[in-house]
Amino acid sequence: MTWKVIGKGLPKIDSISKVTGEAQYTVDLKLPGMLYGNIFRSPLPHAKIKSINTSKAEELQGVHAVITAKDVPLNKFSFFQWLADKTILCSDKVRYLGDEVAAVAAVDEETALEALSLIKVEYEPLPAVFDAEEAMKPGAPLIHDKEKNIGFHVERLFGDPDKAFEECDYICEDRYVTGQVSHCCLEVSNCIVKWDSSGRLTIWTNTQAPHTQRQEIARILGIPIRNVRIINSTMGGGFGSKLVIDMKLPIAAILSKKTGRPVRIENSRAEEFSTAKTRYGYTIYVKTGAKKDGRLWAREMKVIGDNGAYHDKGPATLNFSSMMFGTLYNIPNIRYEGNLVYTNKQMGTAFRGFGNPQIAFACETQIDVLANKTGMDPLELRLRNANQSDQMTFCGAEITSCGMKECMEAAARAIGWEEKRRGKGLRGVGLANMVHTGAGGRFYGYNAADAFIKLSDDGTVALITPAQDMGQGSHTVMAQIVAEELGVNLEDINVISNDTDLTPYDLGSWGSRTTFMNGNAVLDAARNTKKEIITVASEMLEANPDDIILEGGRVFVKGSSDQYSFSELADYAINKRGVPISGKGRFVDKLPSGYTIKEGFAKNIPTFAFGTQAAEVEIDEETGEVKVLKVVAAHETGTTINTLMAEGQIEGSVVQGIGYALMEGLTLKNGKVINDGFIDYKIPTFGDIPEIETILIETNDPHGPFGAKGIGEPGLVPTAPAIANAIFNAVGIMIKELPITPEKILKALKEKKGG
């Protein structure tokens, strides 16, 4: 199939506004009369609030409002309301260092900060716990008024693992640890909220899921959903951090209600590091058993997820981990147990990969240890267990398109597997596989999306889609789909997505779902618009509808010189026929028969995306430093909609994965994050990046728009295990705790020599 717009490496449609500084982000907005809010946060990780005195702060000139728990509704809230455990402001107890206690609104930021310093709170410190495994033990300090700190528990069983392990010739058992890491979006989380006199709330904020956040705001404030409108702007990154509201939104709302003025609240970078939500830290116990011939026969995993002080997306994250654990290889006997445990730390939330990078690190490094035991080449072992297209796995996953084998072979070839695997000095190569959703999930019990298109009277196309572009480029993907279907130029398409009053309801941009879900809805809208265009064109051209061609923003009949531009066509439709042209689109992802969310397990995933990464590293034995020389990332895209952007998604993911593998992690001292800036919390810079080779494997998904599936998250999933495996190949040590710092390498090298 040859396409005009699909599959090309086109610049993003918003590139010009971004490269000129014209693009407006939420941090750039200012409203008349706007006040500056700031949040008074707990300085202790766990304590009872004995008294709060705000009188000095209230007296300060320039302060318009000071609020505490007595000024806010004390509805408990969580993303999953049945797990509600957090109020807008703490009334009796604080549960992590940074918990919201009070807030102010003032004429400027300096005054707001000064007012914060005048708030006096008396606390009674309580014993705190910062490690999830410790928090599970009897006698651990209880963080909520519950019998234990385990906030969520899940178990899954397929086959008979106990019996199966007995049948295995090789078994590995290990413990892995991954820590809390920060999203580090360059634009901090921020909002402006205006509570107007009619009782309506307008919220300008950077969000990946405006419609579900709208419901969350209504829920937490106890107001009707219709009273809430959320407006997004250009977004400076998301990566999962902006799916669920944080308390600054309802706090700003209450401050606005009190003052009658719009109120802005913006995280400082230090707040972003030390109080914003993070990737869930996992402690993982894995046991893998294989038969003599390398067939993976049984696998068991126990995850202890560090929830932080309150619930957010943790239960979904733990569940998603289990699905990916069950699907990566088709193993007949599987057991999974997940516990989500409260600690006195900042909360976890979604982060690119959603529980998958954690378990992929454990699963895929253990495969190399296992291969070592069996004497097999780890690539060979993986190939022997690879999934295939049109397959139903033991855990019930319906795999439609699958390029797992192709990804492995491509990555191995590009890294020079055969030759480099033998090692050279302190260099080594390793690879790791991944599976991820390529289309979000059916976790709400359904999965659907809508879109609208109108042909404006000037012949340009306006597309209304709820797909949020946080920088990943969904606006461009959607525009390309329309451009391809309608035969118009990309420049002639306007994408509108930023206002809950205008856009159709949607679950949000997460789970690599926009290309597949919103893309399908947009394609449907474009097809319906095309039908109307053809009706009008056949009348104008006096031709058979079947002969009409749409191309280059014009309609014509093959072989004839008669043609009309889209603006002529729109003009004719509106002014001659009196009927403007538009199209509505809808995509409903069909649920498998007998499906339920709870029992659906891997059936929750509409389509899977596979991938393989291979890494080459060099170790400095003196310093313990790991230098990543090259990463090959071979990923399935179904069909690549935009090569430049698909590569960009993968390159960005790989580099985040390098950060996850080697450098990133929040460090706490008595519950306080001590690396709360980019100086101490290192993310990869220009100096840290290796050569990255991206290979896009096309598998043509039967249900994706033009055969496409999502590629937003997969690139981060296998990077850390590929690097760990390369280190194992280079120097024979397997580090089981992220990040793999030079200290850990040196220690392991020393132990190896000593042993």
Residues lying near other proteins in the complex (CB under 8 A) are found at 9, 11-12, 14-25, 27-28, 30, 34, 36, 60-62, 107-111, 113-114, 183-188, 234-237, 239, 266, 268-269, 470-473, 644-645, 647-648, 651-656, 677-679, 683-687, 689, 692
184 vs 697 by CB, closer to ligand FES: 184
The binder of 184, among other proteins, ligand FES, none, by C-beta within 5 to 8 A per type, is other proteins
The binder of 80, among other proteins, ligand FES, none, by C-beta within 5 to 8 A per type, is none
The binder of 266, among other proteins, ligand FES, none, by C-beta within 5 to 8 A per type, is other proteins
The binder of 446, among other proteins, ligand FES, none, by C-beta within 5 to 8 A per type, is none
Which residues are near ligand FES by CB under 6 A?
Answer: 186, 237, 471
- Between CA 161 and CA 150 the distance in angstroms is 25
- Between CA 610 and CA 628 the distance in angstroms is 23
Shortest-Cβ-distance residue relative to ligand FES:
186
121 vs 655 by CB, closer to other proteins: 655
Structure tokens at 76: 């408990």
The binder of 524, among other proteins, ligand FES, none, by C-beta within 5 to 8 A per type, is none
403 vs 471 by CB, closer to ligand FES: 471
The binder of 677, among ligand FES, other proteins, none, by C-beta within 5 to 8 A per type, is other proteins
Structure tokens at 500: 């809950």
CB of 437 to ligand FES, least distance (A): 23
- Between CA 402 and CA 726 the distance in angstroms is 25
472 vs 497 by CB, closer to ligand FES: 472
User: Do residues 215 and 78 touch, judged by C-beta distance below 8 A?
Assistant: no
CB of 698 to other proteins, least distance (A): 19
1 vs 186 by CB, closer to ligand FES: 186
The binder of 61, among ligand FES, other proteins, none, by C-beta within 5 to 8 A per type, is other proteins
Query: Shortest CA distance to 517 belongs to which of 509, 526, 529, 528?
Result: 509
Query: Shortest CA distance to 480 belongs to which of 47, 1, 2, 7?
Result: 7
- Between CA 412 and CA 262 the distance in angstroms is 56
233 vs 327 by CB, closer to other proteins: 233
684 vs 714 by CB, closer to ligand FES: 684
CB of 184 to ligand FES, least distance (A): 9
Query: How big is the CA angle at 203 (ends 200 and 205), to the nearest 5 degrees?
Result: 170
The binder of 336, among other proteins, ligand FES, none, by C-beta within 5 to 8 A per type, is none
CB of 481 to other proteins, least distance (A): 18
540 vs 716 by CB, closer to other proteins: 716
User: Do residues 193 and 51 touch, judged by C-beta distance below 8 A?
Assistant: no
CB of 598 to ligand FES, least distance (A): 37
Q: Any idea of the CA torsion for 593, 598, 599, 604, to the nearest 10 degrees?
A: 60
CB of 679 to other proteins, least distance (A): 5
109 vs 337 by CB, closer to other proteins: 109
CB of 541 to ligand FES, least distance (A): 45
Partners of 52 in the β-ladder: 121
What residue type is assigned to position 339 of the chain?
N
107 vs 426 by CB, closer to other proteins: 107
Partners of 564 in the β-ladder: 555
- Between CA 215 and CA 203 the distance in angstroms is 13
- Between CA 502 and CA 500 the distance in angstroms is 5
The binder of 111, among ligand FES, other proteins, none, by C-beta within 5 to 8 A per type, is other proteins
SS3 of residue 541 by DSSP: helix
CB of 402 to ligand FES, least distance (A): 31
What residue type is assigned to position 428 of the chain?
G
149 vs 206 by CB, closer to ligand FES: 206
The binder of 465, among ligand FES, other proteins, none, by C-beta within 5 to 8 A per type, is none
What residue type is assigned to position 138 of the chain?
P
Looking only at the bridges linking them, the beta strands covering 263-266 and 35-41 are parallel
280 vs 510 by CB, closer to ligand FES: 510
CB of 186 to ligand FES, least distance (A): 4
- Alpha helices (runs of H) in 171-268, residue ranges in sequence order: 210-221, 248-259
Tell me the CA distances in angstroms from 738 to 161, 291, 334, 363, 734, one per residue in order: 28, 30, 25, 14, 11
CB of 416 to other proteins, least distance (A): 20
- Between CA 474 and CA 187 the distance in angstroms is 18
Q: Any idea of the CA torsion for 104, 110, 115, 117, to the nearest 10 degrees?
A: 120
539 vs 651 by CB, closer to ligand FES: 651
Q: Is the dihedral of CA 379, 383, 384, 386 positive or negative?
A: positive
CB of 642 to other proteins, least distance (A): 9
- Between CA 449 and CA 339 the distance in angstroms is 32
The binder of 15, among other proteins, ligand FES, none, by C-beta within 5 to 8 A per type, is other proteins
278 vs 656 by CB, closer to ligand FES: 656
Half-sphere exposure of 576 (CA within 13 A, CB side): 10
Residue 273 parent element (H or E): helix 269-274
Looking only at the bridges linking them, the beta strands covering 582-588 and 448-455 are antiparallel
Looking only at the bridges linking them, the beta strands covering 47-53 and 93-94 are antiparallel
81 vs 268 by CB, closer to ligand FES: 268
The binder of 425, among ligand FES, other proteins, none, by C-beta within 5 to 8 A per type, is none
- Between CA 575 and CA 328 the distance in angstroms is 57
CB of 5 to other proteins, least distance (A): 15
CB of 33 to ligand FES, least distance (A): 27
- Between CA 369 and CA 727 the distance in angstroms is 12
State phi, psi for 598 to the nearest 5 degrees: -70, -45
CB of 415 to other proteins, least distance (A): 17
CB of 197 to other proteins, least distance (A): 22
The binder of 18, among ligand FES, other proteins, none, by C-beta within 5 to 8 A per type, is other proteins
The binder of 644, among other proteins, ligand FES, none, by C-beta within 5 to 8 A per type, is other proteins
CB of 107 to other proteins, least distance (A): 5
The binder of 107, among other proteins, ligand FES, none, by C-beta within 5 to 8 A per type, is other proteins
237 vs 624 by CB, closer to ligand FES: 237
CB of 17 to other proteins, least distance (A): 8
- Between CA 167 and CA 160 the distance in angstroms is 11
The binder of 110, among other proteins, ligand FES, none, by C-beta within 5 to 8 A per type, is other proteins
The binder of 187, among ligand FES, other proteins, none, by C-beta within 5 to 8 A per type, is other proteins
Query: Shortest CA distance to 128 belongs to which of 149, 104, 107, 150?
Result: 149
Query: Shortest CA distance to 196 belongs to which of 227, 230, 232, 231?
Result: 227
107 vs 376 by CB, closer to other proteins: 107
- Give the Cβ contact number of residue 406 at 10 Å: 18
Tell me the CA distances in angstroms from 229 to 159, 466, 499, one per residue in order: 48, 14, 7
- Between CA 301 and CA 297 the distance in angstroms is 14
